[in-house]
Structure formats: structure tokens, C-alpha cells
Structure 1
Amino acid sequence: MTQPLALTAAQKAGPKTTLALIGLVFAVLIAMPVLSLLPADNPLHVSAYTLTLVGKILCYAIMALALDLVWGYAGLLSLGHGLFFALGGYAMGMYLMRQASGDGLPAFMSFLAWNEMPWYWYGTSSFFWSMCLVVLVPGLLAFVFGFFAFRSRIKGVYFSIMTQALTFAGMLLFFRNETGFGGNNGFTGFTTILGYGVATPGTRASLFLATVVLLGASLYLGWRLAQSKFGRILTAVRDAENRLMFCGYDPRGFKLFVWTLSAILCGLAGALYVPQVGIINPSEMAPTQSIEAAVWVALGGRGTLIGPLLGAGLVNGMKSWFTVAFPEYWLFFLGALFIVVTLFLPKGVFGLLKRKEDA
């Protein structure tokens, strides 16, 4: 009788340990921007480079969590989430370019001898309207695409191919100078945001804190969805969609909602990514970027919420080191990593850690 009791105690301790670790990580993340404001000679000082790098990884972590909502819970493998991330980044970039140019045209438009801005640039000098675009553009695109895709019952590998084709088409469109988005150079040269210098320590700290808040809110939202009846229906869509339909449910509405929500989260992450990194260009829409996001989720453990965050942190941390030390071997390493995880860690790193914790 003692063994079942011991197992029960371990199972109860597992969630508490996970919550404690999550709380510790968020405490460290919240402390980082405060420590970045300390003098440079202080041993606890966090450099601007470190703050920018971690902020960039956190934005990618939000993107991974958004992908986990549709892949890990609804079973929809998207290879085009980089498009939604980039669209949110471009919407924020338009505002930042207007701030940098003042009353004149953005620098790249002047270089191309344009006389006026395209109609879709009007209103982007307003931060509020730009934030509306951050939500509306990826959200509406995802809604329209998802509406027709799910109505046509496209799923599986066909859905993945269509999402990859969508992001590739977006990349080709934004590469063209005449579309009014800076061509292959994209947007850069940002100066101010809401009247504050983008590169000042206080602004960097504020943007980092905003990213941490968005990450925490996204994680909480995902957890609430996963624990609700809606989350259970999503897992039923993933595991047995035909049986769910026989029970009287229409899975199209559930898939469309989580698909659109996922795109909006990606757009918000992209909007916070741009002022911290200082550039946005069509390379963020490249299919390889979306494939990397799938690797983050698979490595961390899809359908776990925490796993994708862990995977995004591990892969991007290794990428930062590999691209400096061995840049020519990074893609080989990434491919090998995906194969190893698929063969030996089907539940990802988080699943492995949880198995050891329960043992």
C-alpha cells in the first residue's frame, strides 16, 4: 500500500516543482532589465547585448508557444508562422520608420525617388493605429486562410505545404521594392518609439519587460485554454476528428479560432522583436524560419506549453554560439538535432525531464 501512496505524492509534487521553476525563471527575467540599468562596472550589470539577445529569444519563444497551440493541441502543423511574426514586425516597423523620418518620407522611399507614401502607410505615424495593424493584419490573414482551408477540410501534410507556400509568397512579395516595404533591406535605422530613444537603456529595459509580460500572458492564456472544455475538444480534433464530428461537434470553428489566435500572438511577438533587434526584413518570412519554429516545438515537447519555450531557448542559444564559432555547420547540426529528437525523444526535452521527475 505504500508504493501507490508514494507515487501519488510524487505526482502531486511534480506540478508544484514545475510552477516553482517557472516562477524562478520569470523572476530572473524581470530582474534582468533592472540589472541592465546598473553601472557597467557593477558585477551584476547585464549588458545591452545580453538583454537584446534574451529579448530576441523571448520573442521567438512566444512564436513557439503560438505554434504549439495549433500543432500540439489541434494537430495542425503550420510551416508558415514566420509570416505572421514578420507581418506584426512590419506593422511596428512602419511606425518606427515614420518616427525616424519625421514629416518626410522614409529613407528608402526617398532613395527610390517616390513622391508620396502608398495608401496603406497612412495613419502609421500613430502608435495606436500601428498596434491595431499588428493585431489585425496577421489575424485577418489567418482568419481568411483558415476559413477556406478548414471549410475545404484540408489537413495533414497538405495543410503544412499550403502554409509554407503562403509564407514563401509573402517573402517574394516583400522582397520587391515597388511594394513599399523596403525590399530586401527591409526597415532599419529606428530612432524613437513613443518619443523615447530606441537605443537608450530605459527603453531597452521597458521593451524587455513588455516581452516578459506578453510571454507570461500567452503562457497563462494557453494554460487556461488547455484546461478548459475548449482545450479538450482541440485534443479530440487532433486525435480523432471523425469521432468528434460523430458526437455532433463541428471542428472547423475550433480550429479557426485557435489558428487565428495563434497568428495574433505571433504578430505581437514580431512587434516587440523589431524595436529590440533594430531591423525587420523579408528573411523573417523565409520558410526555413517557420521550419525552425517547428523544430523548437518538437525539441521542447509539443502539447506541453512549457516545452516550446524551452526548445526555443535551447535552439536559439545554440544558434547564437554556432553561427559565430562554426557558421557553416549550423544547418547540419539543426537537421541532426531534429532527427535525434524525432527518433529518441518523441515527447521532447520537457517530456524527458518530466519522466525523470516522476520516476
Structure 2
Amino acid sequence: MKNLANAFLGGKEGAIGLAILAVLILLVMPMFLDIFRLNLMGKYLTFAFVAIGLVLCWGHGGILSLGQGIFFGIGGYCMAMFLKLEASDMQSTAAQTTPGIPDFMDWNQITSLPMLWEPFHSFGFTLFAIIIIPILLAFIIGFAMFTRRVGDVYFSIIMQAIVAILTILIIGQQGFTGGINGITDLKTLHGWDIRTDEAKYVLYYINALLLIAVIMISRFVLSSKLGRLLSAMRDKEERVRFSGYDVAMYKVFIFCFAAVVSSIGGAMFTLQVGFMSPTIIGIVPSIEMVILAAVGGRLSLIGAVYGAVLVNLGKTYFSEAFPELWLFLLGGLFIFVVMFLPDGLAGVYQKYVRPLFLKKKVADKPTPPPANDPEDIPEPVVEGGVK
């Protein structure tokens, strides 16, 4: 039981780090931030899901995916489709030419709901789709690439191409996807108004709790034999392959797992923000998602969360103060981290902060009593007297 708890919590030090994060996002932020800022922070935390997925597949698995926006978008669009159908009831759309369908479909002269949208009337199917669709897509991509030993920069370029194709497809099929504007004007979830302050508080807490749960599950995966194999494959892939392990399928698994984590983040983004757009999942956002993991530390699950929050805070500030320069500043930040902080914020902690605590523990540890002098140790007594 103790070993299982350590696997989920990451040992004593990991449990302390998780507890600090939980206090910050569950107590401190709701206590000191107004509802607008708290909702903004919730939006930042949804990107932390993607950063955690990248820590798993890039930091530990050696798979640099520049296309995690695909899976983030799948989760976001699945949730947005359900919410949009609920907002497009007959009463709300009575003024349309064709009542009962989303407004952007009516504007594009579509007269009936497409078959692709029909299953999303069900919330259960929507949750199922958020999990299964990214797994299927990631499996197809991963199996096709990893069984042919396509990796490194070639895999990254292919993922960027897939992101571009998906973005063009979404924008081009405006009548079915909302086009460049995306799916907007999302109001209720099973009749519960998600636009109220109370709903925003609830959704923030759900988002934060899901994030903590994902961190714990990810730690369990990394503490298992699979996690050790991932690190071995990252460093010496050929040696692992020659040892008899199916390297390709292990890579496929962790790639699918990272895709599901990113998809959950996308679904929570839609609930937190109230819309989903292709501008959130394009080439540039997908690269930004890698920056989140790099800044936080590509080997640290907790660091990924801090990296996501700090980078998005900087992005918000720079985009407001320097709208024409913020992309260059973001790129400069990435270059700085790669060159001078290769392990990100987690590396700074491990190198400079953690040793301070260890020195304090050593200083506080009582000095053991000196060993007895050999002459003070009594001779063993044997039968018949002293030997």
C-alpha cells in the first residue's frame, strides 16, 4: 500500500511539491484573485494539461511532438459541439431560416444537422469522444511513424504538417465547423448556465482537481516499468530494441496517453472560456505548448504546470504591452531556456534551491556518538571462562 502511494505521489519530496501546488491553485488563487483573474488562471491551467503530456512523451519518451494542438483541439471541439447543440434548441433559434441547428450552419445555408453532429446530443458520447478520438488518431499517427522508425526532427515536421492540414480543414468547412470564428456563444451545460460567476468558480475547481489527478496518474506511469523503459529508450533506443522490447509500441502508448491528457485540457478550455477556435490549435499555438514544457522543465510534471502559468502570464502581458513584438519575445524566451536553462524552472530548483534544504537537514541532524574504542569492548565470554 505504501509503495502504491509513493507511485502516485512521487515519494516524500514529490508529495510535498504536489501539496504546495494544490494549496496554491485550490486555496491561494481563489482567495486572492477576483473572478475574472481566476477564470483567466483556469484558462492557463488548461494548457498545463498539454505541457504534462509533453513532459511524458518528449521529456521521458524522447518524442518531440510539435502537434499537440491537434489533440487539444479535438477535446475542445467535442465539448463545444455538445454545448452548441444545447444552445441551439428550437426556441433559441426560432428566428433562423432553419430552427434547431447552430447559427453558423444557418448562415451558410445548411438546412439540416450533419450526421457528424448528431451523436453530440449526448453528453455521455461527448465524454467518450474526448477520450477515444485522440487515442485513435494518436495510435494511427504513432503506429505509422514509429513502426517505420520515423523520429526526431522528421516526426516533428510531420506533426506540424498534420496541424496545418487540420487547421485548413476546419477553416475551409465553415458551414460544419464555424470556420475561423470557431464555435461560439456557448451558454449552458445540461441547463446549468456556465457564464455565471458561481459556475466559473465550480469549473475552475473541477479543472484544478483534474489537473492534480492527471499529475498523480502520470507519476504512477513514470514510476512503473514502462517509465523506466521510456527513459532508457530516450537515451539508448537501440540498446532497448536489441534487448527484445517492442520500442515502437511503447512509444505509441505514451504518445496516445499524452494525446488523451491534452484532449482533457482542450475540453476544460472550452468550458472555462466559452468557445473553441482554430486559432487555439494552429501551428504557432502548438509550438507555444512545447515552450510551456521547456520553461517548466521537460522532465518535471509539477514544473510543467508552473511553466504553463508563467509563460501564459507573460504572453498576456507582452501581447497587451507589445502587440507587435510578443512573438519575438516568446521565441527569445525559448532560445534562452534551451541555451542556459536546459532543464527549465525545475532544473533551477534542483540545482540551486534543493541543495539549500539538504544542507539544512544535514546541519540539523544530530551528530552520532563516537564509536567505542576497541579496548572498551568486552571480550566474549565462552564456556570455561574468558577466551
Would you say the 8 A contact 1:88–1:268 is kept in 2?
Answer: yes
Residue matched to 1:62: 49
Give the TM-score normalised by the residue count of structure 1.
0.90
Letter in 2 for 1:344: F
Task: State the distance in 1 between where 2:30 and 2:292 align.
Answer: 29
Q: Which of residues 65, 72, 87 in structure 2 aligns to 1:78?
A: 65
1:229 aligned partner: 225
User: Residues 108 and 175 of structure 2 are in contact (CA less than 8 Å); yes or no, is this contact kept in structure 1?
Assistant: no
Equivalent of 1:336, from 319, 324, 332? 332
Q: Within 1, Cα distance between the matches of 2:181 and 2:283?
A: 18
Cα deviation for residue 300 of structure 1 reads 1.4
Return the structure number with greater helix share.
1
Deviation at 1:231, TM superposition (A): 0.2
Give the greater-gyration-radius structure (CA).
Answer: 2
1:62 maps to a residue whose letter is F
Alignment of 1:200-349 (within 5 A): 200-349=196-345
What is the RMSD computed on CA atoms of the aligned residues?
A: 1.7
What is the identity, as a one-letter code, of the residue corresponding to 2:257?
L
State the 1:263 CA deviation. Answer: 0.5
Q: Distance in 2 between matches of 1:33 and 1:345?
A: 27
C-alpha distance 142-199 of structure 1, shift in aligned 2 (>3 A): same
Give the direction of change, closer, same or farther, for the CA distance of 1:259–1:180 in structure 2 (3 Å limit).
same
TM-score, normalisation: structure 2? 0.84
Residue aligned with 2:143, SS: helix
Cα pair distance change 1:182/1:220, threshold 3 Å: same
Number of residue pairs aligned between Structure 1 and Structure 2? 337
Residue equivalent to 2:37: 50
Q: Distance in 2 between matches of 1:252 and 1:224?
A: 21
Q: Does 1:102 align with 2:89?
A: yes
Letter matched to residue 189 of structure 2: I
Distance of 2:138 and 2:157 partners within structure 1:
15
Q: 1:226 to 1:128 in 2, by over 3 A?
A: same
User: How far apart in 1 are the matches of 2:111 and 2:181?
Assistant: 20
Deviation at 1:25, TM superposition (A): 2.7
Identity %: 37
For structure 2, the residue ranges without an aligned partner over 5 or more in a row are 1-9, 91-99, 357-387
CA displacement at 1:128 relative to structure 2: 0.9
- 1:194 and 2:190 matched: yes
**What is the Cα deviation at residue 19 of structure 1?**
3.5
**Counterpart residue number, 2:368:** none
Amino acid at match of 1:91: C
Q: Residue type matched to 2:49 in 1?
A: I
Shift of 1:18: 5.6
Letter in 1 for 2:46: C
Which of 340, 343, 355 pairs up with 1:358?
355
The alignment status of 1:171 with 2:158, answered yes or no, reads no
In 2 relative to 1, CA 178–185 (structure 1 residues): closer, same or farther, beyond 3 Å?
Answer: closer
- TM-fit CA distance, 1:201: 2.1
